[in-house]
């Protein structure tokens, strides 16, 4: 079984607690920021900004300052308890449930059908940008003076955008992460982003819960806080390279471009052994996939696949 930097650090530890602590920290950094993949690792950790939308809007956290219970999570926990919001939209138990659950309908729809299709058509980077822009538009629709119906429309838009963001992020991270840490990066980026969004939502909601004037401003500001986060990531994303796997799918004969991106991600050259190995694996995987129908129809062509689908 291959050893990690943390394992090597533990074996090399001494009896000095201070020295052992430093060795452990260095081993941990080497594990999650591999020297040969440091550029890719830093890029992928930047994806946390895109992933934190879900935690902000739907993260679970305790709110001791609420004046009533709600099944909603994230920043909407505070907003649904805001007396000014309740009065503005005439919120009762039925409307509370609708506001809370409506985004999950479009999130599920996007994750099943829209997100993957969008990421395949325009690329992983542009799928994230378009989805975040759609989410921002949904947040603005919810925040400007409007009716209850327009509020629900904004919630639907936000849910649809996040479903697409989640798929695009997961694809990009899985396809660009260091080979030996692919699973770790997919889980870490999504979960860390979720928890970061939850943390921001908690303190935003807590701070704005004390502001009662001007009227109907506190809950609007609480929603709009996520807008600059999304804008910041959209700007940063223009420094991100496209996924080499997607480039190969769209331009199977343009091996030079794929190799150039791979060299950048792996901090190597076309002659580097680890770059050549991964490049050959990409080519082989693409050739194997091209023999099969990868569309949604393939889910229903085999009895075995149909059974697993159910």
User: 122 or 37: whose pLDDT is higher?
Assistant: 122
Q: What angle do CA 141, 109, 71 make, to 5 degrees?
A: 65
What would the pLDDT profile of 169-198 be if each residue is shown by its tens digit? 999 999 998 877 788 888 888 888 888 888
Structure confidence at residue 186 (pLDDT) = 86
Q: Does residue 215 register a pLDDT over 90?
A: no
Q: What percent of the chain has pLDDT over 70?
A: 82
- The class that CATH gives domain 38-240 is mainly alpha
Tens-digit pLDDT profile for residues 13-49 = 455 566 666 676 666 666 666 677 788 888 888 888 8
What average pLDDT does the chain have? 83
Q: Where are the domains of the chain?
A: 38-240, 245-297
- Of 74 and 108, more confident: 108
């Amino acid at each position: 079984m291959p050893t990690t930097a943390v394992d090597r650090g533990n074996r090399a530890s001494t009896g000095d607690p201070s020295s052992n602590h430093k060795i452990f920290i260095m081993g941990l950094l080497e594990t999650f920021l591999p020297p040969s993949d440091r550029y890719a690792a830093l890029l992928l950790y930047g994806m946390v900004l895109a992933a934190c939308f879900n935690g902000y809007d739907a993260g679970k956290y305790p709110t001791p300052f609420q004046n009533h219970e709600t099944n909603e999570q994230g920043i909407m926990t505070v907003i649904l308890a805001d007396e000014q919001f309740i009065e503005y939209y005439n919120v009762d138990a039925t409307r509370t449930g609708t506001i809370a659950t409506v985004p999950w309908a479009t999130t599920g729809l996007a994750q099943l059908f829209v997100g993957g299709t969008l990421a395949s058509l325009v690329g992983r980077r542009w799928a994230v940008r378009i989805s975040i822009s759609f989410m921002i538009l949904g947040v603005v629709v919810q925040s400007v003076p409007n009716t209850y119906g327009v509020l629900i429309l904004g919630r639907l838009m936000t849910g649809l955008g996040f479903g697409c963001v989640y798929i695009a992020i997961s694809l990009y991270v899985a396809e660009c992460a260091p080979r030996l840490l692919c699973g770790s990066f997919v889980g870490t980026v999504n979960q860390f982003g979720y928890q970061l969004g939850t943390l921001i939502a908690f303190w935003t909601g807590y701070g704005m819960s004390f502001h009662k004037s001007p009227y109907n401003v506190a809950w609007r500001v609480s929603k709009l806080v996520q807008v600059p986060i999304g804008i910041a990531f959209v700007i940063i994303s223009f420094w991100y390279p496209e996924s080499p796997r997607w480039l190969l799918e769209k331009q199977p004969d343009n091996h030079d471009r794929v190799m150039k991106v791979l060299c950048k991600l792996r901090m190597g050259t076309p002659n580097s052994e680890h770059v050549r190995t991964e490049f050959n694996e990409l080519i082989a995987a693409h050739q194997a996939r091209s023999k099969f129908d990868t569309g949604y129809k393939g889910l229903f062509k085999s009895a075995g696949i149909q059974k697993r689908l159910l």
